[in-house]
Amino acid sequence: MSPAVQRHIREELDSLPEIERVEQIYTSVIGMADVLVAARVKFIDTASTDAITAAADEAERRLSRRYPTIRYVFLDPTNI
């Protein structure tokens, strides 16, 4: 995806209250036009498992609503 779209993805993820920072973003076109987004993120220390799951679901909703080709969003928690 273009650098502008990747910046928007980063901004969208950074806006989620459970995410402290986004370390890396990877995007890949799979199939004919579906896009997979994978991001290494640092969640806030107090985020519960349920809050992390809800944040991942919300990230997927927000990104796929804005960019219908985004079909998959995976957040990889990191302690970096």
Which pair of structure tokens corresponds to residue 71? 């079909």
Helix (H, G, I), strand (E, B) or coil at 60: helix
pTM of the model: 0.86
pLDDT digits (tens, 9 = 90+) for 8-66: 999 999 999 999 999 999 999 998 889 999 999 999 999 999 999 999 999 999 999 99
Instruction: Give the separation between CA 68 and CA 76, rounded to whole angstroms.
Output: 22
Instruction: Give the separation between CA 66 and CA 54, rounded to whole angstroms.
Output: 18
- Domains, the chain, in order of start with CATH, read 3-77 (3.30.70.1350)
Helix (H, G, I), strand (E, B) or coil at 17: coil
